[in-house]
Chains A and B, each alone.
Chain A
Amino acid sequence: MAAGGERIPGTPRYRHHLMRHPGTEPFFPNFLLKEWIVGSVFLLSFMLWIVFNPVDLGPRANPDDTSFIPVPDWYFLFLYQILKYYPGNYEIFGTFLLPMVGGLLLLFTPWLDVSKERHPFQRPIPTAAMVLATLLTIWLTNEAAVQHQAEVAQASGQVTTPGLPVLPRIPASQIHLVDTNMPGYQLFEQTCANCHGKAGEGGLGPPIYAIGRYWNAKQLKDFVDKGAGMMPPRGTLSSEQQVQEVVDWLVKQKG
């Protein structure tokens, strides 16, 4: 059925007699209602994504720490990657000329592609150029991401216990432990803190202040029960009961 025939019962048919083309429908309320439905489904998926992907807040900015490997947000990665291909005296190509030319080409597209043809197959040169530019952008973005990951992996080459999530070392003053009134926290302070620090910031043992973000209670308990590396089985806790209490508290620490 043509959508032009669907009406919300009782709504007035503004200018309906003027519609010359079959299939057209008024913007309000018919089309807008459908847009709202699409928008609602979209927003719902968006909110679900957000709830299951909480945003990370890294350690506080420290201008003295020059060991940090800088990386822009993902949508600037393709520009960042271009820089790497023009080192030294040719830097200006990557920092200025190429992005400028790209931006101007995009801005003045209507005056570069002046043929009357609109179908993409009827104007192969602009179509091919755009397809190539898109693929190149995606490839550059991916290349930058892969190279950055490799760089980070190489820099953090410190020996870590296999399977243990690696948390960045940050000062204890920036860690906010939660639920410190639980019995598990007192046990933590008396035992685990000797190696992992009062705030879990790490010491002899690795930082574990946000371990709950990576491991659930069962994974944590299995790990503590077995022990690893310098950590004895059950840490230095004396009973299953104590391990459970500490684990119950630790899983709530999500940074």
Chain B
Amino acid sequence: MLKKAYDWIDERLNVTPLWRDVADHDVPAHVNPAIKMSAFVYCFGGLTFLIITTQILSGMFLAMYYTPDITNAWYSVKYIDDQVLLGQVVRGMHFWGASLVIIMMFLHMLRVFFTGAYKKPRELNWVVGVLIFFVVLGLGFTGYLLPWDQKAYWATAVGSQIAGSIPWIGPYIQTLLLGSHVVGALTLTRFYAIHVFFLPAALLVLLALHFIMIRTQHIAGPL
């Protein structure tokens, strides 16, 4: 039955080569910690992706209760913490996961740098990786405001002032981010939209490019 359904789809869409490519490719020995323990440094990229996945999942559940307006935002986070079943755990995942992504990504970047894996022909994948780093920093910056507590508010106030002090374009960036001259109601809705729609969309596209390039170029050989 299952086989028939698969064949029916495969006949029309030819999906076999797609998953065969992912499933059947050989993983070289020098990146396999089961063969050489020191190869654990090759795990950081995968762990970054794992945490990004949990970030997306926990974020989707948080969005079920979170209210992005300045009168209710703080109370909705309080409600998640105090009333929602496992709310504190899900918020904990999202909060600590944010820091963990940064740490894992930084370690992954150091690994790629010190093994010289960004050299020809993999220059573009390094560039995409750095862009992913910037997008994740953007996610961290916008997400920090959402609980609407004192430290969130004042960190964003200072952060946007810094952006505003950039010559020429600074004031425009500030207005674009804040929707106003000060951190307020519009800022919260903008940061929410950027945090849950704009940046995740960019992140998913960049991740797809990152992985497709790894599959076409393969992992760099041993040193």
Residues of chain A having any CB pair with chain B under 8 Å: 2-4, 14-15, 19, 21-28, 30-31, 34-35, 38-39, 42-43, 46-47, 49-51, 53-55, 57-63, 65, 68-76, 83, 91-92, 95-96, 103, 106-111, 113-114, 116-120, 123, 126-127, 130, 134, 174, 176, 178
Contacts and interface: CB of A to CB of B under 8 A. Distances in A.
- Among B89, B96, B150, B158, the most chain A Cβ lie within 10 Å of the Cβ of B150
A126 B48 CA distance: 24
Interface residues of B, number: 79
A76 B130 CA distance: 16
A113 B115 CA distance: 13
A70 B116 contact: no
Contacts of A39: 46-47, 50
Contacts of A123: 116
Given A28-B23, A96-B167, 18 more contacts: A27-B23, A27-B24, A27-B27, A31-B27, A47-B93, A49-B96, A57-B77, A57-B149, A58-B150, A61-B150, A65-B150, A109-B113, A110-B120, A110-B127, A114-B119, A116-B119, A118-B115, A118-B119
B107 to A, nearest CB: 10
A92 B116 contact: no
Nearest to A117: B116
12 contacts: A4-B29, A23-B32, A26-B26, A27-B22, A34-B34, A55-B88, A73-B155, A83-B162, A92-B166, A110-B126, A118-B119, A178-B82
Interface of B: 20, 22-29, 32-35, 43, 46-47, 50-51, 54, 70, 74, 77-78, 81-82, 88-89, 91-93, 95-100, 102, 110, 113-120, 122-123, 126-127, 130-131, 133-134, 137, 140-141, 144, 147-155, 157-159, 162, 165-167, 182-184, 220, 223
Taking chain B's interface residues, is the majority helix, strand, or loop, or is none over half, making it mixed?
helix
The 5 closest A-B pairs by CB, nearest first: A23-B29, A118-B116, A70-B154, A61-B153, A28-B23
Given A27-B27, A61-B152, A55 B95 contact: yes
